[in-house]
Structure 1
Amino acid sequence: MSETPELSVIVHGPNVQDHLPALLGSLDAHPLTGTEVIVAAVGDWARETAERHIPAFTVLPLPEGAGDAAARAAGAARASGRWLHFVRAKDGLPPGAPRTIAEHAAGLPGTVDVLLFDHVRSTWRASALPSPDGPRLARAERSDRSDRADRADLALDDSAGLLRLTPLLGNRAVRAGFWRTHERLLTTDDEPFAAYAALLLADRVACLPHPAYEDRRLRPESLPPITPEQRYALVERYEALLDLAAGRPAAYAVLYDLMVRDCLRTFARAGMPDDVAREFFRRASLAARRRRPDGHRRPAGLEGVRRSLLEEDACTRYRTLQAANRTRRRVRSAVRTGRRRAGTRVRALQYRRALAEPVDPHLAVFSAYWARGVACNPAAIAAELARLAPGVHPVWVVTAAGAALLPPGTDHVVPGTRRYWEVLARAKYLVNNVNFPDAVVKRPGTVHLQTHHGTPLKRMGLDQMPYPAAARGLDFQALLERVDKWDYSISANSHSTRMWQRAYPSRHLSLDHGYPRNDVYYTAGAQEVRAVRERLGVPPGHRAVLYAPTHRDYEAGWTPRLDLAALADQLGEETILLVRAHYFYETAASPSSPSSPLTALRRTGRVIDVSSYDPVEELCLAADALVTDYSSIMFDYANLDRPIVIHADDWETYRTTRGVYFDLMAEAPGPVARDQARLTEILTTDAWRDERAAKARAAFRRRFCEYDDGRAAERVVRRVFLGEDERTLPPVLPLEERTPAPSPEEATAS
């Protein structure tokens, strides 16, 4: 070039996974006005690829194994442009990016040292994904224009938030003179350090909210393992940067937050060996305490808890909670995947068209337990709707796998299908015991009925925020947006009403009518009780004990908390164990080998796995007693006024990791066993049903069976679907006037 170029594009590094040809080909295919390209080619593959573009590009062959710092330094030494743009050989440049950068840089004042611009991201799955940096760059540019119309530069101390941009040298161009002044500090293989340091050293910066770089993320499995020293270097990087930011409070505070965030993310996601992880945590903890700015306040909620554990060097506690959340992450991941797909469907033409059509006043959509099937409160409401308002047509949302199990004639839609979105768009009534996807629009005139699926012992909604095991993976803002769509929230007792208002603050109206699914506990007769026991294979005269433990947030999967074979053996041949795992777990309640004692007991019918049996209300009708831990089934079963035994071997852990609304140990519905020996003792004596147990159960029923009297579904249908006034609904019967379904013993005698 005869004249000094405005921009020198320095492509550097080896030809990783053969991405370099596409990069150089794209550069060669577009005019490079005011730009020169220098390729610091590391190794033979990169050199051979680059030499195909001579004389258009300048090629600097470097030996195999030369690091990024050496390659950048070689390219910068040869560059003649006023500005330098470092591009790694594995990455890319959008068409016309060099020209855009050069033209923008040419108009900047001489005080600007760094030009920041947006980028896109690519992986092996997708390409050109937007980065999170665009809005921040746009805001900074707008702010600069409004404050100083005659200038286009910013001082970092006034815009310290720019340090939150992705730390790549590729998403910024640097003035050549500035680079050479600070080359000794900036020439490092640690690219994020160089990217941050460039901003900290710059007198002024400028922003270009335009994608001019492609950051290609290689699969971690295709890269060399990260050494322990490289892990520890993350902490060292931030400490060096904080030294560089000394005396600049705004920049220092942002860097400190970035350090803590990145250290916690690395610890949680990197899969380091235990000894390396503990040492990493120790170093990060030391830095977090030593470098904490004066007056710094931790954020609220989960993030604040995590940071507190880091500062306390509570590695063991953090790892325990980390392991505890694996199941929840899987569940939430599935939900998030559904949300993303739903978001795509919102933009789909059929949903837009359906939203433009009138709301159908005779259409109701029902769903339960993330589309598992016809169950719980929605099922009871749908059944009563058919009796009182047959003109309203119900459509159930059910997964493809669950559709085969539906009762004959059940109209249903599978999530994600065209009709699914059409009925969601047009239905006047939407009924669910969890939530519909975020993408569902709350149309004027529609009614969203949240039925819930249990009385809360454990913390729910926003109350989960201080508990990492419970809050992991939850998007609380998205949760509140879903809650804001509710018109009605069903409650079984005043405790639930208060907790729902606290956990889900919005304008929905609480329907204190009882849980419709619990009506059967007052409407079922002796014949129904005998029939379900016969279906389950419980012989007449035998005691059936339903064992139904709940899900643990701090465990990765089902962990049997009892030796069921030993328990069944000690309870004797006249007792049948009905074992039901929580629906979060897809596996059987208690896997065992064909030769195990438990398998033998199953063959004899003394242990029956009812994990897949629906509805659960029938299991309760069949059981002479319930053994549970912290499951909300205890509140429902209490309606039957039958014995309940609490097995709470991990109460302290559960209470600490999940959070609870009251002390179950002090207000249990019956005797409490803290280990299997005590549980066995309770069930082999009269302690499970003696006067003391009955007294505890009576107090529990008064508190938690407040609105359940057998007519909850009727009240809900009349209020929501028929629009009847609250004052005209059937009143809730006082507890002493209710007659629960007969016990198995009573049913057999009748």
Structure 2
Amino acid sequence: MQPGLSVIVHGPDPQGRLGELLDSLSAQPFAESEVIVAAVGDWARQQAERRAAEDSRMVVLPLPEGTSDGVARAAGAARATGRWLHFVHAKDGLPAGALRIVADRTTELGDSADVLVVDHVRSTWQNSGAPGGDGRFLARVGRRAVPLADSPQLLRMTPVLGNRVMRADFWRSPDVHADIAGEDVLDDEAYTALAVLLHAGAIASVDQVAYEIRDLREQSLPPVAPAQRYAVIDRYERLHRLLDGRDGRDAPDGPKSVLYDVMVRDLLRTFARGGMPEPVAREFFRRASRAAVRRRPSHHQRPAGLDGIRHSLLEEDAYTKYRAFQAANQKRREVRSVVAAGRRQVGAKLRDHRYRRALSEPVDAELAVFSAYWDRGVACNPAAIAAKLTELAPHIHPVWVVSRHKAALLPPGTDHIVAGTRRYWDVMARAKYLVNNVNFPNSVVKRPDAIHLQTHHGTPLKRMGLDQLDFPAASKGLDFEALLARIDKWDYSVSANSHSTRMWERAYPSRYTPLDYGYPRNDVFYSATAADVRAIRDRLGIAPGRRAVLYAPTHRDYEAGWTPRLDLASLADRLGEDTVLLVRGHYFYGGAASPLAGLRRSGRVIDVSSYDPVEDLSLAADALVTDYSSIMFDYANLNRPIVIYADDWETYAKTRGVYFDLTAEAPGHVARTQEELAAVFESEAWRDEASLKSLTAFRRRFCEFDDGRAAERVVRRVFLGESEESLPPVVPVDERTPAPAPSEATA
């Protein structure tokens, strides 16, 4: 049967990237696809053949060392049999789920479009997974297949073939093939990427990340020859001729105008960043000026500001003036930088003066500052304590520290301060109580009569604090002396179990008092009613009677970005129509583009990565699937099944460091592969007697102090000054009644 999609991986193995790419493809099982590896050179061939031996979808096409990208691309396309072609350079990547996203969309399109454009992320040696910036163009197109004349802004998308998927018949059509197969453009990927949009009768989009551009460090690449600089100008001359031949209209906002903008911007960027020798730079500028004048549409308006000046000087062929303009701008930036640095120094001195003055004023015994997750907002243990404080000690006024971009998301009426502002330093200086689930900045002074309460935000499986000294992948340059200085400000440290208390004392050695009271955020697991559970599931869109499985993986210190480690669509298919997967990414990646958006349409996979509070998700779920996230310790309070997906346990334990062997002391069944995970649910083992036995032992160990009254104990002890003996005693684990499970909460 003809495959729906051919993924054509082409090129050598640059800096060892090919193996990662092929492994990611193998981890994305999809039967109606094929992978053609146009492997350039022996090393790339060996890498490909080793993976192809384990993946029947892979076909290896060996090519001689030195084969160019264009030739390798063409060879792969000639071998491909799929209805759609997706070109992937060997240095680049495909995020988890990308294959499914592309395959589903191309199947849906059929022959109604010639090109499918997708969003991408960009990675360098310094950072990984940065948004590519093309999402705004894709969002305007929506789900329609449109001619380029209706969405000319698509020409502004990053010109690589990886974010364009072509219908095979369109790619091989005489007009397209004749245009992109010539020796003068065969290796010009940017030309090809733009040309296919100009040729296309209809263009569709998918507003999801389905490609990763991995930029190699410039200093690791061969130097650029003058001819390659001039070829950039020739590229746009040819594209304009192609556009003239297809559609000569000169609309103000049409493809010709947009292509002109793209050309001028690219030429100016190449000139500014090219580092060309003086003779080459002069010649490049002269040729670029002629192209800018010759190809300028009659209705075109120059941009305002500095960009407009650059355009004007280019069209005038004013090379000397342009160089002077560049020098002036550079000088202006240098002066601005010096002034800004001076202002920062003055501002810091002024802030320090105001802060010191505020520190000399009496402490306000009725003022409490709360923060969570580095000023993310009202959340976690601090939020539960603040709520109980309002109930038991309403005379104490809570103020939340929040970052500027999170302030609008606070609950209505929340008094807050933005870090770094004048009021922030005043409140921080005067508040008697400072509550955080991480640490306050080093600059916050610990007053003798102020109380710092550290609530933490999880039970430690992974190594923390000073225990990270032997794990550089985890500590990542952490200043341990500064960490100890922050720890020395703690007066109290909240703990959910004896394990945590011991680990905190080892990882954070100081004179604080441990509070073995339980985690306040977990109180809701004992106070929530059946009506609460039903209401949460209704908000999430979980139909009555459906099984909800919460999948909540944790951060990997050896990975730069978060992507699901499971093929979620396949897992959802295995679990059946009556199961809903709630998928939550780690909060470290809250700002990253989610690769899960395309799966929402099925209604059986719901991306809850941005949903707060996480406790609601636990209450809504019939079972939890996690790897090494501390959510397992909290969820165990509900006495509901937990399945551990430990596909990389050895790697995680070695790179991050752990306090115990989770695979030997798990709260339920442990799966090492997706097949094993699916089998756990298909066989009903997820809730069998062995699973219950493991969960019971786990709860007794790690839910030791969580009984629903943790926040009350904290408020009475810390804020009201009550004695330890007067606090509500902890109810033994076996005597507690957690919130009803969804199956028990039916109306």
Shift in alpha-carbon separation, 1:425–1:462, aligned structure 2, 3 A? same
SS at structure 2 position matched to 1:584: helix
Residue 448 of structure 2 is aligned to residue 444 of structure 1: yes
Find the counterpart in structure 1 of residue 612 from structure 2.
614
SS at structure 1 position matched to 2:409: coil
Find the counterpart in structure 2 of residue 571 from structure 1.
575
Residue 482 of structure 2 is aligned to residue 500 of structure 1: no
Aligned ranges 1:146-161 → 2 under 5 Å: none
Find the counterpart in structure 1 of residue 460 from structure 2.
456
Find the counterpart in structure 2 of residue 746 from structure 1.
744
Tell me the TM-score normalized by structure 1.
Answer: 0.53
* Alpha-carbon offset, residue 587 of structure 1: 4.5
For 1:384 and 1:370, the matched residues in 2 are separated by: 22
Aligned ranges 1:637-676 → 2 under 5 Å: 637-676=635-674
Q: Deviations over 1:117-174 (max 9, x none)?
A: xxxxxxxxxxxxxxxxxxxxxxxxxxxxxxxxxxxxxxxxxxxxxxxxxxxxxxxxxx
Shift in alpha-carbon separation, 1:469–1:515, aligned structure 2, 3 A? same
For 2:453 and 2:499, the matched residues in 1 are separated by: 19
Shift in alpha-carbon separation, 1:347–1:415, aligned structure 2, 3 A? closer
* Alpha-carbon offset, residue 344 of structure 1: 3.4
Contact 2:563–2:595 (8 Å) recurs in 1: no
- Paired amino acid for 1:351: Y
- Paired amino acid for 2:352: A
Aligned ranges 1:67-466 → 2 under 5 Å: 344=348, 348-466=352-470
SS at structure 2 position matched to 1:348: helix
Q: Deviations over 1:562-583 (max 9, x none)?
A: 0001111111110001000000
Find the counterpart in structure 1 of residue 6 from structure 2.
none
- Paired amino acid for 2:614: V
Q: Which runs of 5+ in 2 are unaligned?
A: 1-217, 223-340
Shift in alpha-carbon separation, 1:343–1:608, aligned structure 2, 3 A? farther
Find the counterpart in structure 2 of residue 523 from structure 1.
527
For 1:346 and 1:457, the matched residues in 2 are separated by: 43
Query: % of aligned pairs identical?
Result: 75
Shift in alpha-carbon separation, 1:590–1:563, aligned structure 2, 3 A? farther
* Alpha-carbon offset, residue 226 of structure 1: 9.4
Shift in alpha-carbon separation, 1:698–1:724, aligned structure 2, 3 A? same
Shift in alpha-carbon separation, 1:354–1:622, aligned structure 2, 3 A? same
Contact 1:581–1:589 (8 Å) recurs in 2: no
- Paired amino acid for 1:379: A
Shift in alpha-carbon separation, 1:345–1:568, aligned structure 2, 3 A? farther
Shift in alpha-carbon separation, 1:226–1:341, aligned structure 2, 3 A? farther
Find the counterpart in structure 1 of residue 623 from structure 2.
625
Farther-moved stretch of structure 1 (390-399 vs 352-361): 352-361
Report runs of 4+ in structure 1 exceeding 3 Å deviation: 224-228, 340-347, 587-590
For 1:345 and 1:581, the matched residues in 2 are separated by: 40
Find the counterpart in structure 2 of residue 534 from structure 1.
538
Shift in alpha-carbon separation, 1:588–1:741, aligned structure 2, 3 A? farther
Contact 1:545–1:575 (8 Å) recurs in 2: yes
Shift in alpha-carbon separation, 1:346–1:430, aligned structure 2, 3 A? farther
For 2:620 and 2:513, the matched residues in 1 are separated by: 35
Q: 2:600 aligns with which of 599, 602, 607?
A: 602
Find the counterpart in structure 1 of residue 494 from structure 2.
490
SS at structure 2 position matched to 1:430: strand
- Paired amino acid for 2:487: V
For 1:551 and 1:465, the matched residues in 2 are separated by: 19
Aligned ranges 1:678-697 → 2 under 5 Å: 678-697=676-695
Contact 1:342–1:438 (8 Å) recurs in 2: no
SS at structure 2 position matched to 1:397: strand
Find the counterpart in structure 2 of residue 735 from structure 1.
733
Give the superposed CA RMSD.
2.2
Contact 1:398–1:414 (8 Å) recurs in 2: yes
For 1:441 and 1:344, the matched residues in 2 are separated by: 15
- Paired amino acid for 2:388: E
Tell me the TM-score normalized by structure 2.
Answer: 0.54
For 1:604 and 1:457, the matched residues in 2 are separated by: 34
- Paired amino acid for 2:436: N
SS at structure 2 position matched to 1:546: strand
Find the counterpart in structure 2 of residue 476 from structure 1.
480
For 2:636 and 2:349, the matched residues in 1 are separated by: 43
For 1:693 and 1:226, the matched residues in 2 are separated by: 52
Contact 1:346–1:439 (8 Å) recurs in 2: no
SS at structure 2 position matched to 1:387: helix
Find the counterpart in structure 1 of residue 165 from structure 2.
none
* Alpha-carbon offset, residue 684 of structure 1: 1.5
* Alpha-carbon offset, residue 491 of structure 1: 0.2
Aligned pair count? Answer: 411
Contact 2:351–2:422 (8 Å) recurs in 1: no
* Alpha-carbon offset, residue 347 of structure 1: 5.2
Contact 2:382–2:455 (8 Å) recurs in 1: yes
* Alpha-carbon offset, residue 682 of structure 1: 0.6
For 1:341 and 1:724, the matched residues in 2 are separated by: 45
For 2:737 and 2:564, the matched residues in 1 are separated by: 35
> Which one has the largest radius of gyration?
1
SS at structure 2 position matched to 1:655: helix
Q: Deviations over 1:483-523 (max 9, x none)?
A: 00000000000000000000000000000000000000000
* Alpha-carbon offset, residue 559 of structure 1: 2.6
For 1:515 and 1:536, the matched residues in 2 are separated by: 25
Find the counterpart in structure 1 of residue 162 from structure 2.
none
Contact 2:550–2:623 (8 Å) recurs in 1: yes
- Paired amino acid for 2:633: F
Shift in alpha-carbon separation, 1:346–1:533, aligned structure 2, 3 A? farther
Contact 1:491–1:515 (8 Å) recurs in 2: yes
Shift in alpha-carbon separation, 1:569–1:349, aligned structure 2, 3 A? same
Shift in alpha-carbon separation, 1:736–1:568, aligned structure 2, 3 A? same
Find the counterpart in structure 2 of residue 50 from structure 1.
none
SS at structure 1 position matched to 2:453: strand
